[in-house]
Structure 1
Amino acid sequence: MKTTFQEDQSLVLIVDDEAFIRTQLRLALEREGYQIAEAKDGKEALNIFQQLHPNIVLLDAIMPGMDGFECCLQLQSLEQGKYTPILMITGLEDQESVDHAFDVGAIDYVTKPIHWPVLRQRVKRLIQQSQLQYKLELANQELQRLVTIDGLTQVASRRRFEEYFAQEWQRMARDQLPLSLILCDVDYFKSYNDTYGHRAGDRCLQKVAQAIKDTVKRPADLVARYGGEEFAVILPKTEMSGAMVLADKICSVVRRLAIPHSNSQVSGYVTISAGVATDIPQPGSDFQEMIAAADRALYQAKIDGRDRFQQSTKQSSSTFSIPRWGT
């Protein structure tokens, strides 16, 4: 292996079993300002690629042992090879060889003897294209994150809640397993905002969201901001009894935050009410009724005094009070 190194340059990996060809390529590309790594065969190329993560690979098609076609195929299977263009250099110009090069993942090819101005332009263009593709994918990932994460509370957004709930509803219907939902609402939150201001209200929601998130432990469970001061927790493979235990914990941890709320008619601190619903989804059924059932239970918990959770079924509900600051 031979490597020349300068920090701010693109790195080109040259793979060829002929030292003379490697030298020609290295000198020509160094004049264009690239840094260079060299490999004499496919096996060495794979090792260098994983160590240095080059911006482009110039790969000889015909080499002893592992040829360029097999090497290209293996490079493409590596995670870091996703955005790295491979330019095949070949003395073969028949249709079958050209098709094979593209089939194994080469983005372009040049033929021997090398036409240097063509090589220079193709290397430049392919590096620019791959860098642009990488930046666009990062931007798309960030946009996706922004639409799936609530900006204020950093839990899942309403959109993500609906997508995930639909997904888990279908999965539980297929496997005939229980799915539970907890809907939570901060008690007297409008009064809190009126008393302490909207910035304090935002901080309150952030603390409540983090407390709920810290309470929900399983990776498959999802905490989302359902809207305003409402939060939702999706619990796949969870019976009503398990959901009730978690709802109790959520109410307790929010109460233990001890966020002052002088106009609360419950305790003088911020509290939360919750409605719990559980169902075994049926194939082809709609999850909206389950959301409505949890919402009805939440409404009843509010009527019954807040700072409590309530279990609901499609037809009826049962209230469970929890200890509340001596009231």
Structure 2
Amino acid sequence: MQAQPEAAVILVADDDPFIRHMLTCYLKQEGYQVVEAPNGEAALDLYRDHLPDLVLLDALMPVIDGFEVCRRLQAANQSDLAPILMITGLEDEKSVDQAFEIGVADYITKPIHWAVLRQRVRRLIAQHRLERRLREANHQLQQLTLIDSLTQVANRRRFDEYLLQEWGRGGRDRRPLSVIICDIDYFKGYNDHYGHPAGDRCLQQVAKALSQGINCTDDLVTRYGGEEFAVVLPNTSLAGAAAVSDRLVQAVRALGLPHAAAPHATVTISCGVASVVPQLSYLPSDLVVTADQALYQAKAQGRNQAKATRMVLPPPGRSLTTWV
């Protein structure tokens, strides 16, 4: 017996109790964990419960045959379906073609040749685990391209992608979308006085405070650029976004980071807030422009505060910057 590392789970689905028992005993001797299903319906339920590494599936079963089980598993688990090894007494060209067309990874015929089964089970499990590790690694790499390395919040690229996504969703569902643009007050003076390493630590602490200041899992804090951060608030009205922005201003002020070059002697932020029910004929950048204008008002009125404004969409054919 040569057990698999972190013993793989195999789902055996066969309506013949003798064949099912033989398969189970053999696979357990090989070091696998085995889950038995006496029919197709049970196989579907057990797959959801155990998420096996491999499915050994009888082609001919009553009510729900192996071909239909395979189709349903494909439909429900497109991203990470365990390989299916079909066990069949059918060897005609039509049945073999049908099996591969619906996603079967391989098949063996009855009577079972145990040495062949042993090698195919090993190969399919190893291949499935390798593919899973590659998907996880690719996902991690993709996530790294969307994270700001200094502050560990989402970066500008992620902001642009997410804003466009939520603009489309808000336009379809007729739900409000809000954006907050945050700027650290007198940050150049902070860098000049304390040095750039201290400035980096300041950015990190502010980013952490902003991340802790949002409550909804759909809200996204991003580093917009330099000392600016942006927050995307899907399905959030102007009043709700204004409340969030006030909370963010207070959260940063509560850090109590000394800032000798600022009037308040501590690090503070100014925020501009804009909200709209998106229309697909306009661009999400118009919402950012409106939030920027609100940020300018907050700065002009003394900083360390938030200003909110509702975005008014321009007539068709006019840009927001030339219309407002």
Q: Which TM-score tier does this pair reach, normalised by the shorter chain?
A: 0.7 to 0.9
Q: Deviations 1:62-119 (Å, cap 9, x if unpaired)?
A: 3456543344455556659934211111111123322443355422111223344543
Q: Distance in 1 between matches of 2:172 and 2:61?
A: 52
Q: Does 2:99 correspond to 1:93? A: no
Tell me the residue number matched to 2:317: none
The answer (yes or no) to whether the contact 1:14–1:36 under 8 Å persists in 2 is: no
Equivalent residue for 2:228, pick from 220, 227, 230: 230
Q: 1:245 to 1:36 in 2, by over 3 A?
A: closer
Tell me the residue number matched to 1:193: 191
Q: Distance in 2 between matches of 1:274 and 1:143?
A: 32
Percentage of matched positions with identical amino acids: 49
Q: Deviations 1:173-193 (Å, cap 9, x if unpaired)?
A: 344444332111111223323
Displacement of 1:258 after TM fit? Answer: 1.0
Which amino acid letter does the alignment assign opposite residue 282 of structure 2? S
Q: 1:198 to 1:175 in 2, by over 3 A?
A: same
Q: 1:11 to 1:242 in 2, by over 3 A?
A: closer
The answer (yes or no) to whether the contact 1:18–1:40 under 8 Å persists in 2 is: no
Structure 2, unmatched stretches of 5+, are 312-319
Tell me the residue number matched to 2:209: 211
The answer (yes or no) to whether the contact 2:37–2:46 under 8 Å persists in 1 is: no
Equivalent residue for 1:277, pick from 274, 279, 293: 274
Q: Distance in 2 between matches of 1:66 and 1:177?
A: 43
Q: Bigger CA drift: 221-230 or 35-44? A: 35-44
Q: Does 2:117 correspond to 1:119? A: yes
Q: Deviations 1:115-153 (Å, cap 9, x if unpaired)?
A: 445434322321122111111111122123222333333
Displacement of 1:229 after TM fit? Answer: 1.5
Q: 1:216 to 1:68 in 2, by over 3 A?
A: same
Q: 1:75 to 1:242 in 2, by over 3 A?
A: closer
Q: Deviations 1:187-225 (Å, cap 9, x if unpaired)?
A: 122332333344433332222222222322233332211
Q: Does 2:289 correspond to 1:292? A: yes
Which amino acid letter does the alignment assign opposite residue 307 of structure 1? N
Which amino acid letter does the alignment assign opposite residue 114 of structure 1? I
Q: Bigger CA drift: 226-235 or 18-27? A: 18-27
Structure 1, unmatched stretches of 5+, are 317-327
Equivalent residue for 1:302, pick from 299, 304, 307: 299
Within 5 A, what are the aligned runs for 1:65-214?
Answer: 67-73=65-71, 75-76=73-74, 82-214=80-212
Q: Bigger CA drift: 285-294 or 305-314? A: 305-314
SS in 2 for 1:207: helix
Q: 1:180 to 1:100 in 2, by over 3 A?
A: same
Q: 1:204 to 1:45 in 2, by over 3 A?
A: same
Q: Bigger CA drift: 75-84 or 146-155? A: 75-84
The answer (yes or no) to whether the contact 1:178–1:280 under 8 Å persists in 2 is: yes
Tell me the residue number matched to 1:324: none
The answer (yes or no) to whether the contact 2:180–2:230 under 8 Å persists in 1 is: yes
Tell me the residue number matched to 1:263: 261
Equivalent residue for 2:34, pick from 32, 37, 58: 37
Which amino acid letter does the alignment assign opposite residue 230 of structure 2? A
Q: Deviations 1:19-44 (Å, cap 9, x if unpaired)?
A: 267537854x677x442526362266
SS in 2 for 1:225: strand
TM-score when scaled to structure 2?
Answer: 0.79
Q: Distance in 2 between matches of 1:105 and 1:221?
A: 38
Q: 1:60 to 1:178 in 2, by over 3 A?
A: closer
Q: Bigger CA drift: 36-45 or 184-193? A: 36-45
SS in 2 for 1:217: coil
Which amino acid letter does the alignment assign opposite residue 302 of structure 1? K
Q: How many residues align?
A: 310
Q: Distance in 1 between matches of 2:233 and 2:60?
A: 56
